[in-house]
Structure 1
Amino acid sequence: MRDPARWPAYNAAQRGRPVRDLCRRVLDLAGPGDGRLALDLGCGAGVETAAMLDAGWRVVALDPAPGTGDLVREVVGPGDRGRLAVHEAGFADVSSLVRPAAVQLVHASYALPHVPRAVFDDAWRQVRAALSPGGWLAVDLFGDRDSWAGAPDETFLTRAEVGDLLAGLDVVVLDEVEEDGEAFSGPKHWHTYAVVARAPG
């Protein structure tokens, strides 16, 4: 997404789509939520947030786009809203919204790549710090052969850099995909990594 001002329109357009595969995979692996705490980063319209709530998780959902709270509450059923906290905030705010090692599941589908490279390392540090021992991490990352690579407001990683980010985690899924396809802004060449990992303990 080249124009940050388009995020509200992008999020609104996501209503009604299926739950992303990455979210389904980590929910299957993590098992029933049973009131455990999940963090949905870049929650958009709340499609994955609703899936986590349906699976029994409590969810803290973050997205910096204006109108996020209203969008998510439209998707989430009234009976689930007591287990939901929505914040119009970004990755830089994670440490102020959840305690260290308090989150049993962190999910970020196609959100982390849109963190500028200059602040990506700090954002990743906050994500890792939020994860509890035994907690699950599910993220999509952009590779360095993506057609958007080089954009200063986004982060693109080599396979080795992805490995460095995951050091100390038990990696369950690491799928690298490279293909031509569509983005919200039009055709592009995708180079992505889908990751599911678990913290030791």
Structure 2
Amino acid sequence: MSTSTRPGADPEKQATSGSGADSGHRVESGQHAVAGRRAEPGHWAAYNSRQFGRPVRELCLRAMALADRPSDADAGSLRPAAGTEHRSAGERVAVDLGCGAGRETAALLSEGWSVLAHDSEPDTEARILRTVGGIHSALTVRVCAFEELSPLPDADLVYAGYSLPFQTRTSFDRTWSLIRAALRPGARLAVNVFGERDSWAADPAMTFLPENELRTLLDGLEIEHWHEEDAPGPAFSGPKHWHVFDVIARNPH
């Protein structure tokens, strides 16, 4: 397990809902639903419009690097992690939950991953295409609220950058079950989860977890990276106190 110091707090990020139209790659859509404290009209459109030029988030880059590294058990023989022996980079599947402007989706595609990019903003498809540079054969876009999320494909990486907290606890638990069920042997999840000392912790439309509860949710996984931020910092909607757990965990089974 490793820790790191993150340069400042990333701004809030949420998936709400919407619909999309097929443009060559696959687009899946669901019914409209909005929840959470950042549900003011236009908030997420404004937020996402400012994300196109930002760097790819460190947590995603770290997870991608770990996926390219042999597991400790196999390092001596330089063999890939169990369950991935017959998959080339182009066959690896990633899920980007709450993909926003698609910066991480684009990074994964550029490294040869097939990607299911999920978000619930109505303009998700247009935003993703702008970021990745047009239609991509390895890209599937799914547009729906977390509450409407259907089972995820078997994946080698499930990434959720600042998106999972923006749903009720009931929805969060269901989403977490879908994430765990999607992890292939040797696969990883890389997520940001909000802690109970976050400024927004009183919001019933969001989910905040104490450390011990998050660790319980990770039972059966090998924690490869854990970083806790508990400090004031900037956000798109204004300064706040951030309590965030950055986690990468691997499914050994």
Q: Which structure has more RCO (C-alpha within 8 Å, separation ≥ 6)?
A: 2
Give the Cα separation in 2 of the matches to 1:74 and 1:13. Answer: 13
Matches within 5 A, 1:34-49: 34-49=90-105
Q: Is the 8 A contact 1:94 1:127 kept in 2?
A: no
Offset, 1:117:
1.6
Decide whether the 8 Å contact of 1:46 with 1:71 is kept in 2. yes
Pick the structure with more strand per residue: 1
Amino acid aligned to 2:142? H
Which residue in the other structure is 1:19 paired with?
56
Q: Distance in 1 between matches of 2:182 and 2:50?
A: 30
| Residue identity opposite 1:57 in structure 2 | W
1:95–1:130 CA contact under 8 A, matched in 2? no
Deviation at 1:9, TM superposition (A): 1.9
Aligned 8 A contact 1:39 1:106 in 2: yes
Asked if 1:150 corresponds to 2:202, the answer is yes
| Corresponding position: 1:106 with 2:143 | no
Map of 1:140 onto structure 2: 192
8 A contact 1:41–1:90 mirrored in 2: no
Question: Offset of 1:34 from its aligned partner?
Answer: 3.1
Greater shift, 56-65 or 3-12, is seen at 3-12
2:115 equivalent to 1:59: yes
What residue is the counterpart of 2:139 in the other structure?
A: 84
Which residue does 1:171 correspond to in 2? 223
The residue identity in structure 2 corresponding to 1:73 is L
Identity, in percent, stands at 47
TM-score of the two chains, using structure 1 as the length reference? 0.93
Unaligned runs of 5+ in 2: 1-11, 13-36, 69-87
Give the C-alpha shift of residue 13 in structure 1: 1.7
1:166 to partner: Cα distance: 0.4
Q: What is the CA RMSD across the aligned residues, in angstroms?
A: 1.5
- Contact 1:92–1:126, Cα closer than 8 Å, also in 2: no
Deviations 1:59-105 (A, max 9, x none): 00000111011001001034x71110112123344434x34xx1111
Q: Give distance in 1, aligned partners of 2:46 and 2:184.
A: 34
> Greater CA radius of gyration, 1 or 2?
2
Structure 1 gaps of 5+ residues are none
Measure, in 1, the Cα distance between the counterparts of 2:89 and 2:162: 23
- AA aligned to 2:53 is G
Q: How many residues align?
A: 197
